[in-house]
């Protein structure tokens, strides 16, 4: 089983709202990732968690706040977003965080900020 699940599938929020994106995997993977993807562009890395600790923050604005409650779950808390933050947000996981690991992606959350 190589499934990563994400909820919700779609999200519309105002610039003053607070919302959260959720990601879950049950493959025993110890690395989890958040990516942002704009239309017709490749995914862009936002955060990497390795063994439930934040390992990489790609200079992401503080209005995006990641959280890894346990080895299977990854959240992305959203607050005071801007319209330009509208995008497809992808979660991924891999066995370990290394240069030989395959990353498996979830279906994504389509976010629209009004």
Partner 1 sequence: GQQLNQSPQSMFIQEGEDVSMNCTSSSIFNTWLWYKQDPGEGPVLLIALYKAGELTSNGRLTAQFGITRKDSFLNISASIPSDVGIYFCAGPYPTGKLIFGQGTTLQVKP
- What are the φ/ψ torsions at residue 68 (nearest 5 degrees)? -125, 90
Considering only residues 73 through 112, tell me which ones interact with partner 1, judged by CB under 8 A. 88, 90, 92, 97-108, 110
C-alpha 4/C-alpha 59 separation (Å) is 25
Q: Report if residue 22 touches partner 1, rule: CB under 8 A.
A: no
Considering only residues 27 through 46, tell me which ones interact with partner 1, judged by CB under 8 A. 31, 33, 40-45
Nearer to partner 1, 57 or 72 (CB): 57
E strand intervals along 1-114: 4-7, 10-13, 18-25, 31-37, 44-50, 53-57, 64-70, 73-79, 87-94, 104-105, 109-113
Nearer to partner 1, 33 or 64 (CB): 33
CB of 90 to partner 1, least distance (A): 5
End-to-end distance of the chain based on CA atoms, in angstroms?
Answer: 37
Number of residues in contact with partner 1, rule: CB under 8 A?
Answer: 29
Q: Report if residue 7 touches partner 1, rule: CB under 8 A.
A: no
SS3 at position 102: coil
**Residues binding partner 1 (CB under 8 A):** 2, 4, 6, 31, 33, 40-45, 48, 56, 88, 90, 92, 97-108, 110
């Amino acid at each position: 089983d190589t499934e990563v699940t994400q909820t919700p599938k779609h999200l519309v929020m105002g610039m003053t709202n607070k919302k959260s994106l959720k990601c879950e995997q049950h493959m025993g993977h110890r690395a989890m990732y958040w990516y942002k993807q704009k239309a017709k562009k490749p995914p862009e890395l936002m955060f990497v968690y390795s063994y439930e600790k934040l390992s990489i923050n790609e200079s992401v604005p503080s209005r995006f706040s990641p959280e890894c409650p346990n080895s299977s779950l990854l959240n992305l808390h959203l607050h005071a977003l801007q319209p330009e933050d509208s995008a497809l947000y992808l979660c991924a996981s891999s066995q370990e965080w290394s240069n030989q690991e395959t990353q498996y992606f979830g279906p994504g959350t389509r976010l629209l900020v009004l």
